[in-house]
């Protein structure tokens, strides 16, 4: 059973330093025409590293101090097109490279959304729109390649294939135009989230012999990985059940749940400049996993606050450049839910900031 708990721990190490709601929800508006009359395409790069670590996340954690843990390098492309007045279709792709103390893990995020404005602004009445979206994150596999010593076992590698999260979400957005140059928006939304994975495996060493571990649900099956001549006899295979020790693999790694979010943002335009600021509060109710954590006396985090600041400069009729800062109170499990499991939960007390620079073309 030590082997099983340690396996979850290594998966946690692979995911905990990645870390809100769907990308850029803090800046949602019922009037996308303010950004571009008919549509836009945006490309950008996202960064976090030691030079940008203003909150000293690494140095405050003795387990990651002086390492690359928390490094983040991402690239994204997203855009939107107006199908007709008040009806917009948008989508985006993100490539994310996230590091822990020894390894780097690659994720792909995606998003598609449709926005329908069913009330037009009229005096004090705001423009009101409904936005429906689907979004998620996946990886071909996450694997730790550094040996880790734990009580009773040495895990040489740990691998989880096809970890993924998928969300369906609905948001109601109201936008007030306070002045010709200033507008304010409010967002209220809810959605459903579901995690999944393909297979879980590990290798370990017992009595100088190497074993391959395969997990099927709560069953653990170990087989001798290579011939071994250790004295005292060699166990060729062994079997165990994690449920006998109060561990439920699926509920702790592949949980599902419901979430809600609420926020406000404002935009101010002057000449070629546009300044935007947004705040988003996110709360999730997960099935089973948080009760398991509470029963073990481990921390449970269900809320995240995101502050997003963005500056745009239009340097030609249809081209703008922008810089963006995204500050999260509890990493960004609300943007990448797959990072939260029974082994990573204690890491989500950390704040996290992500910086982005990019180029936008509108039409």
User: Residue 17: pLDDT above 90?
Assistant: no
Residue 212: its pLDDT value, please?
92
Paired strand residues for 261 = 189, 282
User: Residue 116: pLDDT above 70?
Assistant: yes
pLDDT band per the 50, 70, 90 thresholds, residue 77: very high
pLDDT tens digits along 170-224: 999 999 999 999 999 999 999 999 999 999 888 888 788 888 988 888 888 889 9
Distances in Å between the Cα of 272 and the Cα atoms of 35, 185, 276, 319 are: 12, 21, 13, 10
Q: Is residue 201 within a helix (H) or strand (E), and if so which, with residue range?
A: strand 199-206
Strands 39-48 and 352-362, sheet pairing: antiparallel
Residue 101: its pLDDT value, please?
72
Residue 7: its pLDDT value, please?
37
Angle, CA of 41, 45 and 48, to the nearest 5°: 150
Strands 104-119 and 182-196, sheet pairing: unpaired
Q: Which domains does the chain have, with CATH numbers?
A: 2-362 (2.40.160.40)
Query: What average pLDDT does the segment 29-39 reach?
Result: 93
pLDDT tens digits along 286-318: 999 999 999 888 899 999 999 999 999 999 999
User: Residue 151: pLDDT above 70?
Assistant: no
E strands along 207-272, which residues? 209-216, 219-224, 237-241, 256-270
Nearest to 283 by CA among 190, 175, 154: 190
Q: Which residues contact 283 (CB under 8 A, 6 or more apart)?
A: 259, 260, 261, 302, 303
Strand, coil or helix: 302? coil
Q: Which residues contact 124 (CB under 8 A, 6 or more apart)?
A: 176
pLDDT band per the 50, 70, 90 thresholds, residue 63: low
DSSP 8-state code for residue 332: B
Higher pLDDT: 290 or 63? It is 290
pLDDT tens digits along 237-291: 988 887 766 778 889 889 999 999 999 999 999 999 999 999 999 999 999 999 9
Nearest to 121 by CA among 84, 175, 83: 175
pTM, full prediction: 0.86
Strands 104-119 and 153-161, sheet pairing: unpaired
Q: Which of 57-66, 138-147, 244-253 has the lowest average pLDDT?
A: 57-66
Nearest to 115 by CA among 34, 166, 170: 170
Residue 248: its pLDDT value, please?
84
């Amino acid at each position: 059973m030590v082997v099983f708990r340690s396996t979850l721990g290594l998966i946690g190490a692979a995911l905990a330093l990645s870390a809100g709601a769907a990308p850029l929800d803090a800046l949602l508006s019922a009037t996308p025409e303010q950004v571009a009359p008919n549509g836009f395409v945006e490309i950008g790069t996202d960064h976090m590293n030691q030079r940008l670590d203003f909150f000293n996340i690494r140095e405050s954690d003795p387990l990651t101090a002086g390492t690359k843990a928390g490094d983040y390098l991402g690239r994204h492309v997203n855009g939107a097109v107006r199908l007709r007045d008040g009806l917009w279709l948008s989508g985006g792709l993100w490539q994310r490279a996230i590091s822990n103390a020894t390894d780097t893990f690659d994720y792909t995020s995606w998003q598609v959304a449709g926005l329908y404005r069913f009330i037009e602004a009229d005096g004090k009445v705001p423009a009101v729109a409904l936005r429906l979206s689907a979004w998620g994150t996946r990886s071909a596999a996450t694997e730790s390649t550094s040996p880790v010593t734990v009580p009773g076992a040495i895990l040489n590698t740990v691998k989880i294939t096809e970890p993924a999260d998928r969300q369906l979400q609905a948001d109601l957005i109201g936008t007030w135009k306070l002045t010709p140059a200033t507008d304010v928006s409010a967002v209220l939304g809810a959605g459903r989230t579901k995690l999944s994975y393909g297979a879980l495996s590990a290798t370990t060493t017992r009595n100088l012999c190497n074993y391959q571990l395969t997990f099927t649900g709560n069953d653990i099956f170990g087989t001798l990985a290579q011939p071994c001549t250790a004295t005292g006899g060699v166990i060729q295979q062994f079997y165990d059940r994690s449920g006998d020790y109060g561990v439920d693999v699926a509920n702790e790694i592949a949980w599902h749940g419901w979430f809600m979010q609420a926020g406000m943002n404002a935009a101010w335009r002057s000449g070629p400049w546009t300044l935007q600021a947004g705040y988003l509060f996110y709360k999730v109710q997960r099935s089973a996993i948080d009760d398991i954590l509470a029963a073990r006396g481990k921390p449970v985090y269900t809320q995240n606050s995101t502050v997003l600041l963005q500056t745009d400069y239009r340097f030609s009729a249809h081209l703008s450049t922008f810089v963006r800062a995204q500050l999260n109170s509890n990493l960004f499990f609300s943007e990448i839910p797959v990072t939260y499991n029974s082994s990573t939960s204690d890491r989500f007390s950390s704040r996290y900031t992500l910086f982005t620079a990019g180029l936008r073309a509108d039409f």
